[in-house]
Amino acid sequence: MAKQWIAVLLMAGAMWNAEAVDFNCSGRLPDMAGVRCDTLVGDLVTKRFKEKYPASTYQIVLMADSAYYDDGSMSGYVLAGLAPQAGDQYPDDPMVIQFREPQALKGQALFNREKALIRSAVNDLMRELGVVAMASKKK
């Protein structure tokens, strides 16, 4: 099984609620190149996260990769985690979602699948860190 890694390192500050969030985003697909992490998940990062984990100290690490098999199927994973700001550090306890497809996804279809899973992993990360936005009470 040949793996082809095309990685892009994007350090982007997402402005939301007048606070910054630093992302470290890498992806195997050329489709991920040029996609800013803040456009993928910036709306999921809560104000409580930014208060508890300042961008000067922490970064959100996002990764995605996939592999293709001779039978035409594929598998892959996405990862979201919190890591120290210093350098390219791997998160201590990341949220990882694995998937398998009986028929290989490529191009935009694979990008869309990874994007949805990355968003899900970031939601899980916010929940795990205890920084999910409080739901407003309905009257």
In contact, 29 and 7? CB cutoff 8 Å:
no
In 3D space, the residue among 121, 128, 126 whose CA is nearest the CA of residue 63 turns out to be 121
Domain ranges, ordered by start, for the chain: 10-128
Summarised one tens digit per residue, pLDDT across range 21-53 is 777 776 653 345 556 777 788 889 888 999 999
Longest dimension (CA), the chain: 56
**Greater pLDDT, 136 or 115:** 115
Phi and psi at residue 76, to the nearest 5°: -165, 180
Note the pLDDT tens digit of each residue in 55-102. Answer: 889 988 888 888 899 999 999 888 889 998 876 678 888 999 999 999
The two structure tokens encoding residue 45:
């990062």
One-character DSSP codes across 64-105: EEEEE-TTS-EEEEEEEEEEESSSSPPPSS-EEEEEEESS--
